[in-house]
Amino acid sequence: MSGRRRGLFAGLIRAGFSAAAVPYAIVVARRNRRFDQGHGVQRCDATVISIGNLTTGGTGKTPIVADLARRFRKHGVRVAIVSRGYGRGDADENDEAAELHQRLPDVPQVQNPDRVEAARIAVEELESQLILMDDGFQHRRLHRDLDIVLIDMTCPFGYGHLLPRGLLREPIASLGRAHVAILTRCDQVAEEDIAAVMETIRLCNRDLLVLRSNHRPSGLLQHPDQRTPVDALGGQRVALISGIGNPAAFRRTVEDVGAEVVAEKVLPDHAQYDRDTIEQLNRWADRLDDVLYLVCTQKDLVKLQTDRIAKRPLLALTIDAEIEPSEAFDAMLKDIAEAAQAV
């Protein structure tokens, strides 16, 4: 997808993916045109904020959603989080919802592929005044009062191509319907990279409020609730376990706090830690030499539910969002909070 691999075979694969992207683009264009005309859009009796992205993979939504929920709770707004529940299977909630519950025990969540029905439940049964729709940019059946798009600076526009040739769910021009863009992981890229992304954004939407953000390590969590300062990783040899959309960004964050990553076990996004997977992890960890800690994400820890693997301590690196101060954004959220409480 990135185009870095050369050769005839790689070229043929990219050509095939490019051909497959054509019908996908037609379907996306028709669908967006229908919603742009107002067909099929339904409202609920609460204010709705969508937090989404243009690409597949991890853009760092969970810390942003948690940050926004805390801001509105400080205003006294009754908040609920609505999401599709991808990868939930037979469980009550998926890994992202479990992590958000750990972060926000006082904020209810409703998971349902039908976001309109989920919103109805949040309003009628949970008496919510404001709904945060997680991963909602493409789920346009539910009307939203504010559309926030996250752009991961480590792979901002999915290699510039629609699925399956690239990682874009829809064209970059779709930023034209967004109200706010938050650039995540800005600390992991150079200023010229940010400037190039800003130029692209302005071509799509000159009025878009664009904010920078970083994902800051806030501590270490060992199951069930033992917390340790992140400084404990400084200078230590560690091995990583991750089943997330952007494992490279996670590794970079661990290295940035001063740890030496000597091994890494990368699993698919939303990986299920069943018995076979746990046994594989035990065998892998048992073979590691001179590793003090195993480090995973908070999303992985809520599924692993253990404090060690192969007798090695397992720690989750907790991450919080740090959005740059913005009077315009603060005023926007204040107005939304007041409108939500007035309904």
The predicted-structure confidence for 187-237, as pLDDT tens digits, reads as follows 999 999 999 999 999 999 999 999 999 999 999 999 999 999 999 999 999
DSSP letter at 215?
Answer: E
Query: What is the reported pLDDT for 343?
Result: 77
Return the percentage of the chain with pLDDT > 90, whole number.
88
Cα-based distances in Å from 290 to 283, 286, 287: 15, 11, 10
Give yes or no for residue 87 having a pLDDT over 90.
no
| Amino acid at residue number 28 | V
Give yes or no for residue 89 having a pLDDT over 60.
no
State the number of CA atoms in the 13 A half-sphere of 294 facing the CB.
Answer: 28
Strands 237-242 and 293-297, by their bridges, are parallel
Omega of the bond leading into 224 within 30 degrees of 0 (cis): yes
Return the percentage of the chain with pLDDT > 70, whole number.
97
DSSP letter at 148?
Answer: E
Note the pLDDT tens digit of each residue in 216-227: 999 999 999 999
Alpha helix positions (H), the chain: 8-36, 61-74, 95-103, 115-124, 191-204, 247-256, 275-286, 298-304, 327-342
Residue pair 245/57 in contact by the 8 Å Cβ criterion: yes
Query: What is the reported pLDDT for 10?
Result: 79
Angle between helices 61-74 and 327-342 (to 10 degrees): 60
Give yes or no for residue 45 having a pLDDT over 90.
yes
Mind giving me the DSSP string for 110-131? EE-S-HHHHHHHHHHTT--SEE
Rounded mean pLDDT, 79-102 = 81
- Assign 139 a pLDDT band (cuts: 50, 70, 90): very high
Query: What is the reported pLDDT for 49?
Result: 98
List the structure tokens of 334. Answer: 């204040």
Please give the mean pLDDT across all residues of the chain: 94
Cα-based distances in Å from 189 to 11, 63, 65, 95, 194: 28, 19, 22, 28, 7
| Amino acid at residue number 130 | L
Query: What is the reported pLDDT for 143?
Result: 98
The Cα 39–Cα 33 span in angstroms is 9
Residue pair 61/152 in contact by the 8 Å Cβ criterion: no
| Amino acid at residue number 219 | G
Query: What is the reported pLDDT for 7?
Result: 80
- Assign 91 a pLDDT band (cuts: 50, 70, 90): low
Q: What proportions of the chain, in percent to the nearest 5, are helix, strand and coil?
A: 40, 25, 35
Give yes or no for residue 23 having a pLDDT over 60.
yes
| Amino acid at residue number 289 | D
Query: What is the reported pLDDT for 126?
Result: 97
Of residues 302, 309, 162, 190, the one with CA closest to residue 240:
309
Strands 209-222 and 79-83, by their bridges, are unpaired
Query: What is the reported pLDDT for 57?
Result: 80
Of residues 207, 208, 228, the one with CA closest to residue 217:
228
Residue pair 301/316 in contact by the 8 Å Cβ criterion: yes
List the structure tokens of 269. Answer: 């996004």
Q: How many degrees, rounded to 5, is the angle at CA 69 between CA 177 and CA 257?
A: 95
Note the pLDDT tens digit of each residue in 236-265: 999 999 999 889 999 999 999 999 999 999
